[in-house]
Amino acid sequence: MNSFIMKVAKEFKWEMGHRLQFHKGRCKNLHGHSYRAIVELEGELNQNGMVIDFYDLTQIVNPLIDELDHSFLCDRADSELTETLKKLNSKIVIIDSSTTAENIAKYLTEKILETNLPKNISRVSVKLFETEDSFAEYSKTI
């Protein structure tokens, strides 16, 4: 029997602010983006002929997007900004790295991998668009 891998993908969108504390240009300032992520899952087809039902993929990813939507993403090392946003009672998500597109793609991929993915899934990828024409992509084989 020949084995093959199938890929499915779904797009998610949200609004979020951040800053790059280390940046020498404008991105050191507080700013936001209309983010877009394409989540891809690869694996063998299950008994129903699917890698995963798109409904199930949405159920896995939407809570992550809801957490990020209209929040400010902060690097844990950016304590000055984190404390200020807490005083303002703002919606904050704190991560353990700078808030680059690359690190956001990795963050989302790792969060998806922490969920109860079906056993037939062999790879998870997140392509994160920070602007209409700029993206970072992170993939991990399970």
Q: Does residue 2 carry a pLDDT above 90?
A: no
* Residue 69, Cβ density class (10 Å: 0-12 exposed, 13-18 middle, ≥19 buried): middle
Residue 139: pLDDT band by 50, 70, 90 thresholds? very high
pTM of the full predicted structure?
A: 0.94
**Would residue 18 show up in a list of annotated catalytic residues for this protein?**
no
pLDDT at 8: 98
Beta bridge partners of 39: 10, 126
pLDDT digits (tens, 9 = 90+) for 32-86: 999 999 999 999 999 999 999 999 999 999 999 999 999 999 999 999 999 999 9
pLDDT at 3: 66
In the set 27, 44, 102, 137, the catalytic residue is 27
Domain ranges of the chain: 6-141
Q: What amino acid occupies position 44?
A: E
**Would residue 130 show up in a list of annotated catalytic residues for this protein?**
yes
In the set 15, 23, 70, 110, the catalytic residue is 70
What angle do helix axes 101-113 and 54-68 make, rounded to 10 degrees?
Answer: 130
Contact 67, 47 (CB under 8 A): no
User: Distance between CA atoms of 26 and 33, rounded to whole angstroms?
Assistant: 13
pLDDT digits (tens, 9 = 90+) for 78-122: 999 999 999 999 999 999 999 999 999 999 999 999 999 999 999
**Would residue 27 show up in a list of annotated catalytic residues for this protein?**
yes
Q: How many CB atoms lie within 10 A of CB 34?
A: 12
Task: Indicate the CATH number of 6-141 among 3.30.479.10, 3.90.950.10, 3.40.190.10, 3.90.226.10.
Answer: 3.30.479.10
Q: Does residue 128 carry a pLDDT above 70?
A: yes
In the set 33, 40, 42, 130, the catalytic residue is 130
